[in-house]
Amino acid sequence: AAEPLAEGAVVLRGFALPAEAALLDGLQRVVAQAPLRRMVTPGGFTMSVAMTNCGALGWVSDRRGYRYAPRDPGSALPWPAMPQAFARLAVAAAARAGFPGFAPDACLVNRYEPGARLTLHQDRNERDFGAPIVSVSLGLPAVFLFGGRERSERPRRIPLAHGDVVVWGGPARLRHHGVMPVKSGDHPLLGGCRVNLTFRRAA
């Protein structure tokens, strides 16, 4: 059930479903220690997506810029450890997509309430673009925008549902991407929101 999206990008539909209970348990533990919060962009806008992190490094944004940091700026404590179920799933998905030996040191947790979105962007804050990015969709469905190397390239729309895992590597790694505003709904496990786990090798 590996659908190639483009060179370097593979969708594994439902790949996270066997681990869903362990993932939700890990998610609860992470957000209890490092609460979700809406960060401010360097331009001064508050993002519609609420975020937190687990693992050695966490992605943060504020007026000074975007970066990876070893501590939660809200508490000054280290980010919570990456739950074993998270790391296992990310490593298995990467291997299935042709990236053996993926060793994520950062997991960004994105929570979308209805209307929340991510405008087209590139992920360029990581040191090594040779490592893939693994993303796990949970809860409400979303339409993912998958563009090109140039921002001007018209993006494709890819529906992503609860349990879908996407691996982005190789020539797909620096393509623009985003998420359309999430529509309201009621998911049996997550209620009225979408959660995306994004695993990266940041350092």
52 lies in the site for ligand MD3, by CB under 6 A? no
110 lies in the site for ligand MD3, by CB under 6 A? yes
53 lies in the site for ligand MD3, by CB under 6 A? no
Out of Fe ion, ligand MD3, none, what residue 135 binds, judged by CB under 5 to 8 A for its kind, is ligand MD3
DSSP class per residue in 162-192: TT-EEEE-GGGTT--EEEPPPPP--BTTTBS
To ligand MD3, the closest distance from the beta carbon of 134 in angstroms equals: 8
Q: Report phi then psi at 71, rounded to 5.
A: -130, 155
CB-CB contact of 122 with 175 (8 Å): yes
| 57-80 burial: b if 16+ Cβ within 10 Å, else e | bbbbbeeeeeebbeebeeeeebbb
Annotated binding-site residue? 187: no
User: What secondary structure, in 3-state letters, does 51-103 show?
Assistant: EEEECCEEEEEECCEEEEECECCCCCCECCCCCHHHHHHHHHHHHHCCCCCCC
Annotated binding-site residue? 123: yes
Which of 34, 196, 201, 202 forms a contact with ligand MD3 (CB under 6 A)?
196
Kindly indicate which of the ranges 23-31, 40-48, 150-158, 171-179 contains the residues binding ligand MD3, using the contact rule CB under 6 A. Answer: 171-179
Kindly indicate which of the ranges 63-71, 83-91, 169-177, 183-191 contains the residues binding ligand MD3, using the contact rule CB under 6 A. Answer: 169-177
Out of ligand MD3, Fe ion, none, what residue 196 binds, judged by CB under 5 to 8 A for its kind, is ligand MD3
Out of ligand MD3, Fe ion, none, what residue 182 binds, judged by CB under 5 to 8 A for its kind, is none
By CB under 5 A, what part of segment 107-166 binds Fe ion?
123
Please identify, using beta-carbon distances, which residue of 72 and 123 lies nearer to Fe ion.
123
Annotated binding-site residue? 176: no
CB-CB contact of 198 with 142 (8 Å): no
CB-CB contact of 120 with 174 (8 Å): no
Out of Fe ion, ligand MD3, none, what residue 175 binds, judged by CB under 5 to 8 A for its kind, is ligand MD3
201 lies in the site for ligand MD3, by CB under 6 A? no
- Bridge partners of 57? 106
Q: Which two tokens stand for residue 118?
A: 């991510």
Residue set of the binding site for Fe cation: 121, 123, 177
Q: Which residues bind Fe ion (CB under 5 A)?
A: 123
Residue set of the binding site: 121, 123, 177
